[in-house]
Amino acid sequence: MKIVAGVIVAALLTVAHVGAASSVAVGIEEFKFTPPVLAVPVGTTVTWINHDEEPHTITSANGAFGSTGLSHEDTFAQTFIRPGRYEYFCALHPHMKAIVIVK
Amino acid sequence: MDRIDRRGFMECMAWAGTGLVWVSTGGVLSSRVIAPAAAAEATPGRFSFVQISDTHIGFKGQANGDPTATLQQVVDRVNALQPAPAFVLHTGDQTHGQQAGAFDTVAEILKGVKTERIFYVPGEHDVFLDGGKEYLGRYGKGTVGGRGWQSFDFKGSHFVGLVNVLKYKGEGMGALGEDQIEWLERDLAPLSPSTPVVVFSHVPLWAVYPQWGWTTEDAGRALVHLKRFSSVTVLNGHIHQVLQKVEGNVRFHTAMSTAFPQPAPGTAPAPGPMKIAEADARRMIGVTEVTYVPGQHPLAVVDSTLG
């Protein structure tokens, strides 16, 4: 249910704020990360799932984390243990950009 | 479940199972989609070569359940050409996301091509995981500094293979980089302006649709060195459809994929594989005739299917 809540909040406010959550999902569909801006508390594990047939990656802009190519319905998880702004993109389609804000 | 019957497969092949054969007469290139009867005539100085692109071995999805089979069919068609093409250009995305074993599969299938030599440039799918290590390990030999770009002469024409997928940056466009552009300038310097020049790379060297990354950021800085030549042909892949543009002395072409089509620029939310429904096949074929006009440069769409 947290996944659904996150997506709805993102649609309404652009920034998805997730409070006291330990696990949050980000969807990849039609070459977009949803939500594109995700705010989470320290300690949150973010899990990406690729719904496209095209492979995508989750690649940190500063090299802090990164996945290999995710095939259709593959997932990648990353736990954020320090506050900060974590910009990331898809290495195959670098116009796909998003950010995780850890507070 | 994929529902691939013979009819659906053949209709799909009209999209996917194609390559282009290029015939050069006095440096003026003409293209046609490969058919067994399409062959260069035995005129002195005339030769043909084939461009295949975006084989995407490792892809599995609704758009094509078996890209290995469609590539094999392309090879069979190339081998039916009389006379055989002088060489083949593979303009990248051999693999689908560098899947394990995909490079081996491509190499194995292309061993069966009846031609003197195959020249390669990488696509972003071939290099994104390891920065090009595996690709250059296989195809870097004989290229400039082992970095993948190269040039060669054939019957008075000068061919240049450029790499524009190792420096993806900015808004996700292709990029050539300073070193390669400087090399290109030096490479072209000794040539007379009447030398026909053919440039090939994966990502288009013209702004097909920057919103989807279908352009090369610094292509203009390379093309400026081609201005003095009377005949320049630029062959690209990446966008899985045939598009053509003529700008001054330069003719730009993009090739179809041997695996699956992608939507015409701007006609879909994203540039992913197009799912071809059997009933829609005829209509889908028509999609390639869409004309997209970026700014002041109209694009003319040319041939796109087998028949």
User: Cβ contact (<8 Å) for B171 and A53?
Assistant: no
Q: Which chain B residues are closer than 8 Å to A66 by Cβ?
A: none
Contacts of B111 (CB under 8 A, 6+ apart): none
In this structure, what DSSP letter does residue B226 have? Answer: G
**Which A-chain residues 36-75 have CB contacts (< 8 A) with chain B?**
52-55, 57, 68-69, 71-72
Please tell me the distance in Å from B97's CA to the nearest CA on chain A: 6
Domain count within chain B: 1
Provide mean pLDDT across the span A87-101: 91
Q: What is the mean pLDDT of residues B270-292?
A: 45
Contact call for A31 and B129, based on CB within 8 A: no
In a domain, B15, yes or no: yes
Confirm whether B274 is domain-assigned: yes
A68 closest CB neighbour out of B63, B129, B172: B129
Minimal Cβ distance to B272: which of A31, A57, A71: A31
pTM comes to: 0.81
Cβ distance of A57 and B128 shorter than 8 Å: yes
CB contact under 8 A, A94 and B271: no
The answer to whether position B307 is within a domain reads: no
- The reported pLDDT for the residue numbered B301 is 28
> Once rounded to an integer, what is the mean pLDDT over residues A24-28?
96
Whether residue B124 and residue A92 make contact (CB cut-off 8 A), yes or no, is: yes
pLDDT higher than 70, residue B288: no
Beta-carbon separation of A95 and B171 below 8 A: yes
DSSP helix/strand/coil, B232: strand
Q: Are B142 and B173 in contact (CB under 8 A)?
A: no
CATH domain A2-102 topology: Immunoglobulin-like (2.60.40)
> A41 CA to chain B: closest CA distance, Å?
29
Query: Residues A44-71: pLDDT tens digits?
Result: 999 999 999 889 999 998 888 999 889 8
CA distance B284 to A94: 28
DSSP 8-state assignment for residue B82: S
Q: Do A53 and B97 touch (CB under 8 A)?
A: no
Task: Select the more confidently predicted residue: B263 or B46.
Answer: B263
Min Cα distance B182 → chain A (Å) is 25
- Bridge-based pairing of strands A32-34 and A59-60 is unpaired
pLDDT digits (tens, 9 = 90+) for B173-216: 789 999 999 999 999 999 999 888 989 999 999 999 988 889 99
Scanning every residue of chain A, which has its alpha carbon at the shortest distance from the alpha carbon of B62?
A: A53
**What's the mean pLDDT in A4-27?**
61
Q: What residues contact residue B24 under an 8 Å CB cut-off, 6+ apart?
A: B46, B47, B48, B49, B155, B157, B196
pLDDT, residue B246, reads 85
What proportion of chain B, given as a percentage, has pLDDT over 90? 41
Confidence label for B22 from pLDDT (cuts 50, 70 and 90):
low
Residue B56 within any structural domain of the chain = yes
* CATH code, domain with B81: 3.60.21.10
Is A82 an interface residue toward B (CB < 8 Å)?
Answer: no
Inter-chain CB proximity A92 and B97 less than 8 Å: yes
Question: In B, what residues contact A, Cβ < 8 A?
Answer: 59, 61-63, 96-98, 124-125, 128-129, 168-172, 211-213, 269-273
Chains A, B: CB contacts within 8 A come to 52
The verdict on residue B90 lying in a domain is yes
Q: What integer pLDDT is reported at residue B44 of this predicted model?
A: 60
Q: Which two three-digit tokens encode residue B208?
A: 């097909």
Q: What is the mean pLDDT of residues A9-35?
A: 75
Task: Spell out which residues of chain B touch residue A53, defining contact as CB-CB under 8 Å.
Answer: 59, 61-63, 272-273
